[in-house]
Amino acid sequence: MQHDRNAAIDGFLAASGWPGAARRNLADDASFRRYERVELGGRRAVLMDAPPDKEDVRSFVTVSKLLTAQGLSAPEILAEDPQNGFLLLEDLGDDTYTRVLARGGDEYELYSLATDTLIRLQRDFRPAAQVPDYSRDKLAAEADLLIDWFWPAVKGSPCPEPDRAVFRGLWRNALGHAFAVPSSLVLRDYHVDNLIHLPDRTAEAACGLLDFQDAVIGPVTYDLVSLFEDARRDVPHALANGLMRRYLNAFPAMPRDAFALSYAVMGVQRATKIVGIFTRLDRRDGKSSYLRHIPRTWGWLEGGLRHPMLRDLKEWYDMNFPPDLRRAPAAASASAQDGARS
């Protein structure tokens, strides 16, 4: 099967003007997508390989065009074959924020640029019918991932239906607060792994954007949560708070109390979802490396639950996931080995 896929990729590259291009793996991610760097005659590009039975590359193309129309740095689409799940993209390089920060890059400068990029995106964005809504039903279904995957992983049995029903009811109430702020384009994975520093470009175009194919129209607070409450790294509170003020100063009509509550709801929802997703990646997909981020994600979740309007939701989490359960479960492979030894 992989041989057939490789042959199809070579055919796509040849038809796109890159016959015989050298290929090497660039990155895998938490989805079914895979990326390769392709090189030919001094030219470089990035291949996105997204099996069409698992992913739809057309959404990436749609959002890329929306972003570039605003003067932002999404990769240019060089060639596309949506039927087979292939895209050939402009190569924005290797300087992800993650790598630049690891080399000692200026944290404040990078996060300020990312904040300004969000400000520009949200200020200039106009409604796009081709982008789906981030509906309350969708947000609630994502929260369910916690009880679908993390609950049985740490408790040893599925979540009982009465507990599930209470959880869903609490989330229906909480999500009503999320939409008290304006809606805009939400990239959904707006964090350091998906931002690239492009110092040769000016203003907000110096922030390259990746991994936005799941973009939706939803509360403006969501991508700020993605940036400042990163599951993969600790973002200093002073830095986040200062840049939050910078963001709010750009939108003086934004209701501050409603913004703070929406931010808290989106923070809890996103952390809840991520704990479930990282557990699923281990249990279903054999990707145990994400489990190490679960304790940090619980920390972000606890912070959001401190908002007084989320008191009922906090009581549910405290009752069902006391501190000793707010940990990474043992990897599925380790659990299987323990079972084999016992």
Across 81-86, average pLDDT: 94
Over the chain, what is the mean pLDDT? 93
At 338 the pLDDT is 42
pLDDT band at 341; cut points 50, 70, 90: very low
pLDDT at 203 over 80: yes
Distances (CA, A) of 237 to 105, 189, 229: 18, 20, 9
SS3 135: coil
pLDDT band at 314; cut points 50, 70, 90: very high
At 31 the pLDDT is 63
pLDDT band at 125; cut points 50, 70, 90: confident
At 77 the pLDDT is 95
- Give me 295's structure tokens: 């304790």
- pTM score, whole prediction: 0.90
CA–CA dist 213, 78 (Å, integer): 16
C-alpha dihedral sign at 288, 293, 299, 301: negative
- pLDDT tens digits along 15-26: 999 999 999 998
Q: What is the 3-state secondary structure (H, E, C) of 197-235?
A: ECCCCCHHHHEEECCCCCCEEEECHHHHHHHHCCCCCCC
Say if strands 22-28 and 86-90 run parallel, antiparallel, or are unpaired.
unpaired
Across 50-61, average pLDDT: 88
- pLDDT tens digits along 277-313: 999 999 999 999 999 999 999 999 999 999 999 999 9
At 340 the pLDDT is 37
Across 240-253, average pLDDT: 97
* 317 or 1: which leads in pLDDT: 317
Highest-confidence range of 65-74, 126-135, 267-276, by mean pLDDT? 267-276
Task: Give the amino acid at 208.
Answer: G
pLDDT at 335 over 60: no
At 121 the pLDDT is 96
At 169 the pLDDT is 97
pLDDT band at 333; cut points 50, 70, 90: low
Across 240-266, average pLDDT: 97
Phi, psi of 48 (to 5 degrees): -100, 125
At 215 the pLDDT is 94
pLDDT at 139 over 60: yes
SS3 46: strand
C-alpha dihedral sign at 265, 268, 274, 280: negative
The proportion of the chain whose per-residue pLDDT surpasses 70, expressed as a percent, equals 94
The answer to whether the beta carbons of residues 3 and 23 sit under 8 Å apart is no
At 334 the pLDDT is 55
At 336 the pLDDT is 44
Across 27-45, average pLDDT: 84
- pLDDT tens digits along 43-55: 999 999 988 888 8
* 5 or 37: which leads in pLDDT: 37
